[in-house]
């Protein structure tokens, strides 16, 4: 399933000088995204070092496969995702060759733009956004706050739990998040009231983009599920815990989540992640085997995502003092995920639900089993009972106005060049009057 080829060769260098020491975007990464310059139309680009290769511009050079042009010259990646993983791999090979070899450098170089001169957009039109709950330590930590003796519900180890989120309010990194208002009820209060959330939180997640879809009524077999994944991003599932606690029964979170979801702009392809794939960690003794529709040997052998995730906080006071952002959590995705990306996709389509190119699927909060790897303030502050003390003496149970949250991710492995996801940033603005 993993396809390590010359595009992953650590000896391969780019003639884009900044790529060769870039933490996120060396030539071994080559993620796609959608950018614009000034008031120009959004177009598809590929991140390389601190530059973007304008794929639409590249199309004009005649260096791209003609069959790809309709999909690659649009303002979103949906049609490209629909073409599937073979084309994705072929484009990766081509871009890797063009950006490393000198043969076409003169033709390609004019289509490089400084990232700092661009504005990033959502990489695709998101038809449906689904959020899962595969972070077992997160589910356990949250469950403990409600049910200390049996934090995980009986279905958790059988069903990859998920629910539908709001597609319209998914925004790209950098867009501020307005503190939502809503109904919240203090435990001791007789009635709820409506006002700004007092327990605004972040959630550290991975996002999965659907590539080729399936037709309504048809399923995606687990063995084919990886082929339906176009790539990955970082995802911050902003959450208003007070709204959530009051509204979520019996149909799940709604207004506590749908006011905004932030994602990083670059789609890290499945192929770029190949060197960082691992065996899925074995299930603890006594846990049930996944049902056959969720079992696949290849996925067990390489479905673990060796992605190092990080969430950092910068308060207004910290920024004013020029302080470094404070690291809230750090951990590996595969250590947090009870279900793999392939299992998520196969389960989602197991009832015939039609996934479409560009659909976004969140993993759910990815907390590890260590205190340093908790993916939300709800867990870090134990439901607000043990406020976090920052180096400058400020405390946080939940996010305050002016707080800026940054998600980032790096993938490292022996014999591979480290690649990264870029960042997913959002600053909290006060509630509107």
Least Å distance, CB 95 to its own copies, is: 31
CB 148 within 8 A of CB 201: no
Of 8-16, 88-96, 325-333, 355-363, which segment contacts its own copies by CB under 8 A?
A: 355-363
Q: What are phi and psi of 100, to 5 degrees?
A: -110, -45
Query: According to CB under 8 A, which residues from 244 to 263 bind its own copies?
Result: 246-255, 258-260
Instruction: List the x/- string, 201-240, binding to its own copies by CB under 8 A.
Output: ---------------xxxx--------------------x
Q: Is 133 annotated as a binding residue?
A: yes
161 binds its own copies (CB under 8 A): yes
Instruction: List the x/- string, 118-137, binding to its own copies by CB under 8 A.
Output: ---------xx----x----
415 binds its own copies (CB under 8 A): no
Q: Is 8 known to be catalytic?
A: no
Of 22-30, 43-51, 162-170, 387-395, which segment contacts its own copies by CB under 8 A?
A: 162-170
Q: Where are the beta strands (DSSP E) in 190-298?
A: 193-196, 200-201, 204-210, 229-236, 239-240, 261-263, 268-269, 277-278
Q: Is 248 annotated as a binding residue?
A: yes
Query: According to CB under 8 A, which residues from 176 to 195 bind its own copies?
Result: 178, 180-183, 185, 191-194
Nearest to 312 by CA among 157, 424, 227: 424
Binding residue for its own copies, selected from 107, 163, 224, 227, defined by CB under 8 A: 163
For residue 375, what are its two tokens? Answer: 């993916």
SS3 state at 34: strand
Least Å distance, CB 99 to its own copies, is: 36
Give the nearer residue to its own copies in terms of CB position, either 93 or 121.
121
Q: Is 175 annotated as a binding residue?
A: no
Least Å distance, CB 148 to its own copies, is: 15
Among candidate residues 111, 138, 347, 348, the one labeled active-site is 138
The Cα–Cα gap between 209 and 2 comes to: 18
CB 128 within 8 A of CB 100: no
Secondary structure element (H or E) that encloses residue 389, with its range: strand 388-389
Estimate the share of the chain in helix, then strand, then coil, as percent rounded to the nearest 5.
25, 25, 50
Give the nearer residue to its own copies in terms of CB position, either 214 or 302.
214
Binding residue for its own copies, selected from 347, 373, 408, 426, defined by CB under 8 A: 347
Least Å distance, CB 364 to its own copies, is: 9
Q: Which residues lie closer than 8 Å to 363 by C-beta, 6 or more apart?
A: 132, 134, 135, 205, 206, 207, 208, 235, 333, 337, 341, 344
SS3 state at 245: helix
430 binds its own copies (CB under 8 A): no
For residue 397, what are its two tokens? Answer: 């149970």
Give the nearer residue to its own copies in terms of CB position, either 101 or 430.
430
Give the nearer residue to its own copies in terms of CB position, either 202 or 259.
259
Binding residue for its own copies, selected from 354, 410, 412, 416, defined by CB under 8 A: 354
Number of residues that bind its own copies (CB under 8 A): 62
The Cα–Cα gap between 202 and 200 comes to: 7
Q: Is 219 annotated as a binding residue?
A: no
- CA angle 346-67-79, nearest 5°? 40
- How far lies 50's CA from each of 37, 83, 112, 207, 254, in Å? 15, 28, 10, 23, 38
Q: Is 365 annotated as a binding residue?
A: yes
* Beta-sheet strand order (sheet of 112-114): 112-114, 51-54, 43-48, 32-37, 118-121
**DSSP per-residue codes, 52-89:** EEEHHHHHTTT-S-GGGHHHHTSSSSHHHHHT-HHHHH
Q: Where are the beta strands (DSSP E) in 67-161?
A: 112-114, 118-121, 129-132
Q: Is 334 annotated as a binding residue?
A: no
> CB atoms < 10 A from the CB of 154, how many?
8
Give the nearer residue to its own copies in terms of CB position, either 86 or 289.
289
Give the nearer residue to its own copies in terms of CB position, either 38 or 148.
148
Q: Which residues bind its own copies (CB under 8 A)?
A: 127-128, 133, 143, 153, 155, 158-159, 161-169, 171, 178, 180-183, 185, 191-194, 216-219, 240, 243, 246-255, 258-260, 288, 291-293, 347-348, 350-356, 359, 432
Catalytic residues: 138
Per the annotation, binding residues for substrate are 133, 147, 244, 248, 365
Which residues are documented as binding site for Ca(2+)? Answer: 131, 203, 205, 237
Q: Which residues are annotated as a binding site for Mg(2+)?
A: 237, 257, 261
């Amino acid at each position: 399933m993993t396809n390590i080829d010359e595009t992953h060769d650590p000896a391969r260098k780019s003639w884009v000088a900044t790529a060769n020491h870039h933490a996120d975007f060396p030539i071994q990464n080559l993620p796609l995204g959608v950018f614009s310059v000034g008031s120009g139309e959004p177009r598809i680009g590929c991140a390389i070092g601190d530059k973007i290769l304008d794929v639409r511009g590249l199309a004009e050079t005649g260096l791209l496969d003609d069959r790809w042009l309709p999909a690659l010259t649009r303002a979103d990646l949906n049609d490209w995702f629909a073409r599937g993983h073979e084309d994705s791999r072929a484009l990766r090979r081509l871009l890797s060759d063009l950006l490393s070899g000198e043969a076409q450098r003169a033709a390609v170089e004019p289509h490089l733009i400084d990232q700092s001169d661009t504005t990033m957009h959502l990489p695709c039109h998101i038809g449906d956004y689904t959020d899962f709950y595969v972070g077992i330590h997160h589910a356990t930590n949250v469950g403990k706050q409600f049910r200390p003796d049996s934090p995980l519900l009986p279905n958790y180890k059988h069903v990859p739990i998920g629910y539908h989120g709001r597609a319209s309010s998914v925004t790209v990194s950098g867009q501020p998040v307005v503190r939502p208002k809503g109904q919240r009820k203090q435990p001791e209060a007789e009635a709820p009231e409506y006002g700004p959330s007092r327990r605004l939180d972040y959630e550290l997640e991975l996002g999965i983009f659907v590539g080729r879809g399936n037709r309504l009524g048809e399923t995606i077999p687990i063995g084919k599920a990886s082929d339906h994944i176009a790539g990955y991003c970082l995802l911050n599932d902003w959450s208003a815990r007070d709204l959530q606690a009051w509204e979520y029964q019996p149909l799940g979170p709604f207004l506590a989540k749908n006011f905004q979801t932030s994602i990083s702009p670059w789609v890290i392809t499945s192929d770029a992640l190949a060197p960082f794939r691992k065996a899925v960690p074995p299930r603890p003794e006594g846990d049930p085997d996944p049902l056959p529709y969720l079992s696949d040997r290849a996925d067990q052998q390489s479905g673990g995502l060796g992605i190092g995730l990080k969430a950092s906080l910068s308060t207004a006071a910290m920024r004013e003092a020029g302080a470094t952002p404070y690291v809230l959590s750090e951990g590996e995705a595969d250590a947090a995920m009870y279900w793999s990306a392939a299992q998520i996709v196969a389960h989602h389509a197991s009832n015939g639900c039609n996934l479409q190119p560009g659909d976004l699927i969140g993993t759910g909060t990815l907390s590890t089993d260590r205190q340093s790897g908790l993916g939300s303030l709800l867990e870090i502050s134990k439901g607000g009972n043990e406020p976090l003390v920052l180096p400058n003496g400020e405390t946080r149970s939940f996010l305050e106005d002016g707080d800026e949250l940054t998600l980032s991710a790096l993938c490292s492995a022996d014999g591979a060049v480290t690649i990264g996801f870029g960042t997913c940033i959002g600053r909290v603005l006060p509630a509107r009057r």
